[in-house]
């Protein structure tokens, strides 16, 4: 099926580029001597997660119990929920149900949240990773405060699997490479304290797509996720090239004046993310110099270097969202493109599974 046989706008994944990205990441992690457990909240697509496993992933990372339910139903049996959870009895029951078919690990960053998990879960095979703050300052305990959490896990007879961090400040271009140093320093401090107290740290988990080139082999696994598809943020951070970006939104030029065109894709399919350092609201796959300069709900303004390079009215172009994770979450399915045509559709099965 040709790209012009589907009404625009719609979201598409270039299969060849995706496969190249998966293999590149596998080889990079192999060279770095680090296992990888990619964050599948980036795409929320079981078929894509299975491709990641085929390319060597040891499991996947997710954000919510709802996402885990979707992926376990799809046959994926090793999942890490990389955030602290505050469990209600119902959420605890849902986690318990998942453990019948998968190894489930969750994050914890305080004694209070651990006590909550112990009370609601009771005897459980759910494993726990202690989250360390390495500079992103979202969730995570200080690396100097890990012993109390580890001891609480031991006191309750719960399984301590290791430590993890998220160097989210790698999304700041001024400190992108420093983030890899920060995560090693924080994890080292935490692990030294734990091991000195007699706790075995089996897993040291971290990483992000912007810091993937500088991730240290002190880590035992990386959880980068955006590497699969790429986006305009990664392009501007220097993490990928334009030819590496596998996901785009197919859209039609509906208005034109000089070097500026209006397309029928806006924030309701591309999302509205724009980092302070971003040069626009998105990019154009076929023209490195074009920028999306304004975004409405259903339309976007794209400025080209000159009138000659701007596409004609009615022409299809492929635009690149700034943040792929949010863009994928706005659609029910994505077209899979191979050799210039649509060969199948993948359901964004975990879309909207926010709890």
Shared domain check, 258 and 179: no
Shared domain check, 116 and 98: yes
Query: What is the per-residue pLDDT across 55-94, written as a single tens digit (0 to 9) for each?
Result: 999 999 999 999 999 999 999 999 999 999 999 999 999 9
Residue 304 in any domain: the answer is yes
Query: What is the per-residue pLDDT across 183-204, written as a single tens digit (0 to 9) for each?
Result: 999 999 999 999 999 999 999 9
Shared domain check, 264 and 180: no
Shared domain check, 152 and 196: yes
Q: Is the pLDDT of residue 99 over 90?
A: yes
Shared domain check, 83 and 140: yes
148 band by pLDDT with thresholds 50, 70 and 90: very high
CB 204 within 8 Å of CB 160:
no
Query: What is the per-residue pLDDT across 1-48, written as a single tens digit (0 to 9) for each?
Result: 999 999 999 999 999 999 999 999 999 999 999 999 999 999 999 999
Residue 323, classified by CB atoms within 10 Å of its CB into exposed (0-12), middle (13-18) or buried (19+), is buried
Name the average pLDDT for the chain. Answer: 97
Nearest to 226 by CA among 218, 234, 237: 234
Shared domain check, 216 and 259: no
Residue 292 in any domain: the answer is yes
Query: What is the per-residue pLDDT across 162-171, written as a single tens digit (0 to 9) for each?
Result: 999 999 999 9
> Residue 243 has what pLDDT?
97
Shared domain check, 193 and 88: yes
**Residue 219, domain CATH:** 3.20.20.10
Residue 54 in any domain: the answer is no
Query: What is the per-residue pLDDT across 294-322, written as a single tens digit (0 to 9) for each?
Result: 999 999 999 999 999 999 999 999 999 99
177 band by pLDDT with thresholds 50, 70 and 90: confident
275 band by pLDDT with thresholds 50, 70 and 90: very high
Residue 7, classified by CB atoms within 10 Å of its CB into exposed (0-12), middle (13-18) or buried (19+), is exposed
**Residue 302, domain CATH:** 2.40.37.20
Q: Which residues contact 69 (CB under 8 A, 6 or more apart)?
A: 94, 98, 353
Query: What is the per-residue pLDDT across 217-256, written as a single tens digit (0 to 9) for each?
Result: 999 999 999 999 999 999 999 999 999 999 999 999 999 9
Shared domain check, 330 and 209: no
151 band by pLDDT with thresholds 50, 70 and 90: very high
175 band by pLDDT with thresholds 50, 70 and 90: confident
Domain boundary, last residue among 224, 242, 273? 224
Residue 40 in any domain: the answer is no
Mean pLDDT of 95-113: 98
Residue 26 in any domain: the answer is no
The count of structural domains within the chain is: 2
Shared domain check, 309 and 243: yes
Shared domain check, 302 and 205: no
Shared domain check, 323 and 343: yes
Residue 270 in any domain: the answer is yes
Domain boundary, last residue among 177, 205, 224? 224
Shared domain check, 291 and 210: no
**Kindly report the CA angle at 328 between 36 and 283, in degrees rounded to 5?**
95
Residue 207 in any domain: the answer is yes
pTM of the prediction?
A: 0.96
Domain boundary, last residue among 184, 200, 224? 224
Residue 47 in any domain: the answer is no
176 band by pLDDT with thresholds 50, 70 and 90: confident
Nearest to 141 by CA among 164, 160, 118, 121: 164
Q: Which domain holds residue 313?
A: 3-10+234-347
Share of the chain above pLDDT 70, in %: 100
Gyration radius (Cα) of the chain, Å: 21
> Residue 49 has what pLDDT?
98
Handedness of CA 271, 18, 37, 67 (dihedral sign): positive
């Amino acid at each position: 099926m040709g790209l012009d046989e589907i009404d625009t706008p719609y979201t598409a994944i270039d299969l060849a580029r995706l496969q190249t990205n998966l293999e590149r990441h596998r080889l990079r992690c192999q060279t770095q001597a680090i296992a990888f457990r990619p964050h599948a909240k980036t795409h929320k697509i079981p078929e894509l997660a299975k491709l990641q496993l085929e390319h060597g992933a040891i499991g996947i990372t997710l954000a919510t119990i709802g996402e885990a339910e979707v992926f376990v139903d799809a046959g994926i049996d090793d999942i890490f929920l990389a955030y602290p959870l505050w469990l209600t009895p119902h959420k605890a029951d849902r986690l318990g149900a998942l453990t019948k078919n998968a190894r489930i690990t969750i994050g914890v960053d305080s004694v209070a949240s651990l006590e909550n998990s112990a009370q609601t879960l009771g005897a459980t095979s759910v494993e726990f990773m202690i989250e360390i703050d390495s500079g992103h300052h979202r969730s995570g305990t200080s690396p100097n405060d890990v012993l109390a959490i580890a001891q609480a896990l031991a006191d309750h007879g719960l399984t301590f699997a290791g430590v993890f961090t998220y160097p989210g400040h790698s999304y700041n271009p001024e400190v992108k490479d420093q983030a890899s140093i920060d995560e090693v320093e924080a994890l080292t401090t935490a692990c030294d304290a734990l091991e000195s107290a007699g706790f075995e740290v089996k897993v040291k988990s971290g990483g992000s797509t912007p810091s993937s080139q500088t991730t240290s082999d002190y880590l035992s696994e990386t959880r980068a996720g955006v590497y699969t598809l790429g986006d305009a943020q990664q392009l501007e951070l220097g993490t990928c090239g334009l030819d590496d970006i596998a996901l785009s939104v197919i859209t039609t030029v509906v208005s034109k004046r000089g070097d500026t065109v209006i397309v029928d894709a806006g924030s309701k399919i591309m999302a509205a993310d724009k980092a302070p350092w971003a040069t626009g609201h998105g990019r154009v796959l076929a023209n490195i110099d074009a920028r999306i300069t304004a975004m409405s709900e259903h339309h976007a303004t794209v400025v080209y270097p000159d009138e000659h390079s701007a596409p004609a009215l009615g022409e299809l172009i492929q635009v690149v969202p700034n943040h792929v994770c949010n863009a994928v979450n706005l659609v029910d399915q994505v077209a899979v493109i191979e050799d210039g045509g649509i060969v199948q559709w993948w359901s964004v099965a975990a879309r909207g599974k926010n709890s």
